[in-house]
Every structure is written in C-alpha cells, then in structure tokens.
Amino acid sequence: MRQILLAAIAFRAGISLPRERRLSPSSQRSRGGGNRAEAQGLGFDPFSYGVASGDPLPNRVIIWTRINPSAAATPGSGLGAPVRGIWEVSANSNFTQRVAFRRFVTSAATDHTVKIDVAGLQSGTEYYYRFNALGVNSPVGRMRTAPSNGSTPSSVRFGLVSCSNFEAGYFTAYRHLAQRDDLDFILHVGDYIYEYANGEFGPAGFAGVTRAHDPSTEIFSLSDYRRRHACYKADADLRQLHARYPFITTWDDHETANNAWRDGAENHTPATKGDWNLREAAGIQAYYEWMPPQSIRKPLLMTITPKVGSR
C-alpha cells in the first residue's frame, strides 16, 4: 500500500508511471437508491447500488453495476433468476451520441453484478454510461479515459482515499470529492470495507458505532462479504463518487481480515473461524464482483502501475 500511496503523490505532481494490465473474469445514508422503479410498478429499484467505473486506460474503461432481480434477491442471498439487459456509452449525457451498446446477462453466480470492459474509446475523453434492466434505466455514470501513451497532458488530478469504515462515521469526504469538478480519477489505496462485527473496531479515540454494519457479525463466508460490500454501496455519498469518477483501486488487509498474510490474519483463529484459505478466497471473490476493477488470474499478486502520458 505504501508504494501505491507514493504513486498517488507522483500523479498529483504530474509524474506518470508504467501500467501493467493483467486480466481474468451522505446525506442519504440508507439502504436503497431512488424511486425510478416504483413509478413503473416494480415496487423496488433494480439499481439501488448505483453504477461505477474503473481501471481507466487510453482506449478502455470498466463499467459496473449490481442488479436487484427482485425484492427478495438481496446481495449474498443466492436468490433470483438470471437477468438480461443492455449497457450503453455515449459522448453526451442524454445519450443521443451513443458510441457503444451491447447486451449482457447476469445471475446469482456473480451476485447479479455486471462488469463490462468497454473498449474502442478515445483517449483523454469524457463519456457517459448507463444500464437498463427490467425496463428501468440505471443512474447515469460519468467516466474518463486516460491520456494517450506518449502524450504530455498539462495535469492529471487524482483524489486519494483509503480506510473507509462504515460503522465509524459518515462518508462526507466521498461526497465532497464527488461535488468537485477538477479531478480526473479517484485512487483508493485499500480498506474499502472492514470485516469486523459491529463494535469490534476500537482504536484509540474511536467513539463507538455510528451506524451498524450488515451483517452485524464478523464476516467469513462469500455471502457475508457480498452483504458487507452491499452495505457500503448502499451509502449515497459513495455511490455519488463512483458515478462521478473512475476508480483505480487496490486492497490493503481489511478487504479480507486484519493484518492478513499468506497463511492467516491477526483476527482469524482457524479453530473457531474456519479455514483461512476459504475465507480469503471469499473476500477476494466478493471484491472483484462488487468493485469496478477487472479480475486478474492471481489476485494476491495484484499490482497497479498506471501510465499516464509520456512519462
């Protein structure tokens, strides 16, 4: 994580680094995200977890959403039939200048998340994107491709965020970043979620639980990790920031467990908490389902070395 932090500082100074891309597969602080669907008689919003983009390259960006196929098919439940829909990318916000359009299908196998690698885009260009499923349009997201390799942009501005504990307070910083119009990308350097049970996080000065995690217990299973990611994405300020800027992300430790290493973690006791490898795999799978970055073949070797322009 320290190397990533240094990279973020370099970006602010206009320095750029090479990138390797390795592929494989609030003011409103409540669960839910709008009433577009209620007006159409569904009784629930298929897109209550918003939209997101990430991994910007000069000619492509990942776009993401999670679809609620029914009111009962909540994250981590394993419920819900496959859902078919469309995604589209446009040069303008009213989608009269559409540049890409495809169909997709998602299912409970990926917790009804959708992740699309949109290619063939122009470098250093702003685009708008949205999804449609069950007859409902998602919120509109805005994204930007990276400057072309060899170019010399006058500046590339990043917002730097990390260590976002839902129960410890509100995500006002996310809202303030989303309200800015002078950034290009968001760099999240880890601890996007925390795995603790409600009230277990207790560093010096921590005042207690401001709002409760879901699940309320420490998370271990794939269902648990999916629900915890959904808990975070239910925050309106975080959804707003994801819709406004592409994210470049890496994890730290709390995406799985505290001070995690190859064979375990500080707060993982196999005798009472089960096989560490299974828990780690569950955390990694949920991360790649619920976050916009593309999956890679060996997640523990995750690296981010972005290249911006000619340097």
Give the domain ranges of the chain: 2-301
DSSP secondary-structure letter at 71? S
Q: Which two tokens stand for residue 66?
A: 């999670």
Comparing C-alpha atoms, which of 277, 307, 260, 295 is closest to residue 110? 295
* Averaged confidence pLDDT in the chain: 86
- Residue 254 has a pLDDT of 96
The more confident residue out of 275 and 18 is 275
In this model, does residue 91 exceed pLDDT 60? yes
CA distance 58 to 28: 34
- Residue 309 has a pLDDT of 58
Comparing C-alpha atoms, which of 204, 222, 202, 227 is closest to residue 213? 227
Q: How much of the chain, in percent, has pLDDT values that exceed 70?
A: 79
Look up the pTM and report it.
Answer: 0.85
In this model, does residue 1 exceed pLDDT 50? no
Mean pLDDT across the stretch 210-226?
97
In contact, 149 and 310? CB cutoff 8 Å: yes
CA distance 205 to 172: 19
- Residue 201 has a pLDDT of 84
Comparing C-alpha atoms, which of 91, 204, 180 is closest to residue 140? 91
The more confident residue out of 7 and 120 is 120
In this model, does residue 20 exceed pLDDT 60? no
In this model, does residue 5 exceed pLDDT 50? no
- Residue 101 has a pLDDT of 96
In this model, does residue 123 exceed pLDDT 70? yes
How do 158-161 and 185-188 pair as beta strands?
A: parallel
Q: Tell me the residue ranges of DSSP E strands in the chain.
A: 51-57, 60-66, 83-90, 98-106, 113-118, 126-133, 136-137, 141-144, 158-161, 185-188, 247-249
